[in-house]
Structure 1
Amino acid sequence: MRYLRHLTIAAAVSLAISPVAFAQQSDTASGKRFSVVGSATILQPDSDPLPGSRIDIDGDVAPTLSASYHFTDNIAVEMWGAADRFNHRVRGDQGKIGTVDAQPIALSGQYHFGDADNIFRPFVGLGYHQTNFSREDLSSLNADGEHVSLTSPRGAVGTVGVDMNINPTWFARVDARYLDGKADLKQAGETVTRDARINPWTVGVGLGARF
């Protein structure tokens, strides 16, 4: 699939921007290579996706999961995504227009500051994402009742966060992400509006484990 090719490229880029990962000691000082995190995450799209159209997309909360491979205690590659769909209500001047579901997935390179046993460990990340839209119910945007859909936005994703170590295995996490990307609005399969600025940000609170 096309988006898998993009994620593969993103993985290569993530590794390329962190060459020191291979120059350092091959084993992490903590002895732990993998980590997983489950979070409750708020996703809020851009408040003005179609400038001049007076259309707004409400945010939603959904579970998200991430899995990371740590080359060192400081450098990792993370796969992050929604475990369920975010359901967004689309509103205009006259009230509710319809709904659409979104399910993002992202691959990022990350840098975790400090030593593995520090209580607080901030981190930053940069990578690539794709958000898949489904279950669009936007036919009220068209007087003829034809199906209205959105293409999948793709683009850069930036991450900031902090882990709080509970013990050598368990930690709590708070993170925020910005997903850059535009979508086309289609009516009966034909593009009617290009480059709707979805550009959501997320805030997540979760629990993780290292092993």
Structure 2
Amino acid sequence: MMRFRHLTLAVLATLAVAPAAFAQDATTDTGSAAGKRFAVVGGYALSEPTKNPSIAGGRAQADGDGAATLSASYYITDNIAVEAWGAADKFGHRVNLNGAKAGSVQAQPYAVSGQYHFGTPDQTVRPFVGLGYYEANYSGEQAEPAGALAGQRIGVETAKGAMATAGVDLNITPTWFARADVRYMQGKSDARLNGVKVGEAELNPVVLGVGLGARF
């Protein structure tokens, strides 16, 4: 519930900033979004794992978390773009093993993808889809002192795989726009205890994000 409250606050913050951005930009930008080749977006996202990996003979479950995100896009044409996206902070995941808290780990994903933006650059609502490659660096692995993995050294290797994206931009002015998107990441990484592989940390998270962007 707390994670969805954070996303709600991010949505409200975006809606609050958007009118101010529109008022400031309206006096200076009376042109078109067509032909603008670069875009940047700052936002907030929730990462929720969709799979429960098997670790040390038990079934593990990782909780979701929220973090700030950044992206930069280059538009090859008005409809085709290449995006670099990543978490500006780390998603913290609490790990439960057989229903009891066993430890925690932090993940910081980043990705490159190709996107297709439907319609014309100046239409108010503009959906898009994308497909690309991501990696997620894991760090801060800790075992719960009183948990099943107490006293053991946990390691999770970098996850790598494909990422699919779907989203929509809401054009405010030719420069400013609000964005909502969902990303699905599919990839595996090895989970290790004291340097020995004990399973695969296949989380395959769904990442829900909102943000405010500018194009130029």
TM-score band, normalised by the shorter chain?
0.7 to 0.9
Question: What is residue 110 of structure 1 aligned with on the other side?
Answer: 115
Unaligned stretches of 5+ residues in structure 1: 1-27
Cα displacement string for residues 58-114 of structure 1 (whole angstroms, at most 9, x for unaligned residues): 000100000000011100000000000001111134532111000000000000000
User: 1:186 Cα shift?
Assistant: 1.0
Aligned length: 182
User: 1:161 Cα shift?
Assistant: 0.2
- Are positions 1:175 and 2:181 aligned together? yes
Give the counterpart of 2:36 among 32, 39, 46.
32
Amino acid at match of 1:38: G
CA-atom RMSD in angstroms: 1.8
In 2: Cα distance, 1:142 partner to 1:58 partner: 17
In 2: Cα distance, 1:84 partner to 1:69 partner: 23
Question: What is residue 137 of structure 2 aligned with on the other side?
Answer: 132
Identity of aligned residues (%): 54
- Are positions 1:43 and 2:47 aligned together? yes
Matches within 5 A, 1:84-123: 84-123=89-128
Cα displacement string for residues 159-197 of structure 1 (whole angstroms, at most 9, x for unaligned residues): 00000000000000000000000111112222222x332
Question: What is residue 83 of structure 2 aligned with on the other side?
Answer: 78
In 2: Cα distance, 1:203 partner to 1:166 partner: 21
Q: In 2, are the aligned partners of 1:29 and 1:72 still within 8 Å (CA)?
A: no
In 2: Cα distance, 1:54 partner to 1:187 partner: 15
**Partner SS, residue 30 of structure 1:** coil
- Are positions 1:146 and 2:152 aligned together? yes
Q: In 1, are the aligned partners of 2:97 and 2:148 still within 8 Å (CA)?
A: no
What TM-score results when the alignment is normalised by the length of structure 2?
0.79
User: 1:29 Cα shift?
Assistant: 7.2
**Partner SS, residue 54 of structure 1:** strand
Give the counterpart of 2:161 among 150, 155, 165.
155
User: 1:33 Cα shift?
Assistant: 0.7
The worse-fitting range, judged by mean Cα deviation, of 72-81 and 94-103 is 94-103
Identify the structure with bigger relative contact order (alpha carbons < 8 Å, sequence gap 6+). Answer: 2
The runs of 4+ residues in structure 1 deviating greater than 6 Å are none
Unaligned stretches of 5+ residues in structure 2: 1-31
Amino acid at match of 1:83: A
Give the counterpart of 1:191 among 194, 197, 205.
197
In 2: Cα distance, 1:152 partner to 1:71 partner: 30
**Partner SS, residue 119 of structure 2:** coil
Q: In 1, are the aligned partners of 2:33 and 2:122 still within 8 Å (CA)?
A: no
- Are positions 1:56 and 2:90 aligned together? no
Q: In 2, are the aligned partners of 1:44 and 1:200 still within 8 Å (CA)?
A: yes
User: 1:152 Cα shift?
Assistant: 0.9
What TM-score results when the alignment is normalised by the length of structure 1?
0.81
In 1: Cα distance, 2:99 partner to 2:79 partner: 50
